[in-house]
Amino acid sequence: ISICRDLPNIEVITFSVNGISNLEPLNQCQNLTELYLRRNNITSLNELFYLKNLPRLRVLWLSENPCCGSDPHRYRMTVLRNLPSLQKLDNQAVTEEELSQALVDGEEITAPPAKQSMGNGCPEHTESSAAESTTETESELLSFSLEETNKIREELGMKPVPRDKFSFSPREPDCNRKKRNNVLNAILLLTKELDTEGLEIVQQTVGRRLQASRKKELQEE
């Protein structure tokens, strides 16, 4: 997620199911309109402090994070009190009545969470990450990865990847898989910032890497 510090003009970010726990890198994304963070490791609603100064944020998906707690009403009211410009929260439209009620029932967040050791991409073994690994099935991981990848490809004007063509190894260690997905998402996001000359350089580099990779595979066979 630290790559977002270098993407001030990014408009849509999809980082669901990535072990993310710190939203500080997002506070520079002034053009951000949609943010998808479902099923991560965000433990404190104080992380919303980093989103409060994003003037264009209209869609936030934060469900299935530890910060949602056991009281869904308090959670929703707190999010809306601090992000009153949202039009949709967790795939549910925000109403004027909710925004008014949030001023009463929601908690105002005035400071970021206390700093602590956090990892974004390959978190240490905690109760949360352990529970996540036991509840997610291989089929769910495939669906999430394909859905998020195609969301980014759509934003870039690219065709979606068919399910039968999507590269995914369910036996790959969870840490390596998340790291690879983070790298892939970052590359796709960065290509949106490139001009024609930059894209041509990327195309040439990828072509050379593919040739080298295929040659290596043939040698190993």
Question: pLDDT for 120-141, tens place per residue?
Answer: 444 444 444 444 444 444 455 4
Specify the residue for token string 């993310």.
20
Could you say which of 87, 105, 123 is where a domain stops? 105
Query: Quick check: is 152 in a domain?
Result: no
Q: Please say whether the dihedral angle defined by the alpha carbons of residues 14, 87, 42 and 27, taken in this order, is positive or negative.
A: positive
Contacts of 54 (CB under 8 A, 6+ apart): 26, 27, 29, 30, 32
State the residue range of the domain holding 83. 2-105
Query: Quick check: is 7 in a domain?
Result: yes
Query: Quick check: is 76 in a domain?
Result: yes
The pTM of this model reads: 0.57
Could you say which of 105, 129, 152 is where a domain stops? 105
3-state helix, strand, coil split of the chain in percent (to 5) is 50, 5, 45
Specify the residue for token string 């630290």.
2
CA distance 190 to 183: 10
Which pLDDT does position 171 carry in this prediction?
Answer: 45
160 to 100, 128, 166: CA distances (angstroms): 40, 32, 10
Query: Quick check: is 65 in a domain?
Result: yes
Let me know: does 27 contact 50? Beta carbons within 8 Å.
yes
Q: What is the count of structural domains for the chain?
A: 2
Could you say which of 105, 128, 146 is where a domain stops? 105
Same domain, 184 and 101: no
Q: Please, which residues bridge with residue 12 across strands?
A: 34
Counting Cα atoms < 13 Å in the Cβ hemisphere of 175 gives 6
Q: What is the pLDDT along the chain (221 residues), one digit of tens a residue?
A: 788 888 888 899 888 888 899 999 999 899 999 999 999 999 999 999 999 999 999 999 999 999 999 999 999 999 999 999 999 999 899 999 999 999 999 999 999 887 654 444 444 444 444 444 444 444 554 555 566 666 666 666 666 766 655 544 444 455 566 666 666 766 776 776 777 877 778 788 877 777 777 777 777 76
Query: Quick check: is 55 in a domain?
Result: yes
CA distance 17 to 141: 8
Specify the residue for token string 């050379």.
208
CA distance 50 to 46: 8
Let me know: does 151 contact 14? Beta carbons within 8 Å.
yes
Contacts of 136 (CB under 8 A, 6+ apart): 17
The CATH number that applies at residue 27 is: 3.80.10.10
List, as own/partner pairs, every contact residues 5-9 make where C-beta atoms lie below 8 angstroms and the sequence separation is at least 24, other chains included.
7/189, 7/190, 7/193, 9/193
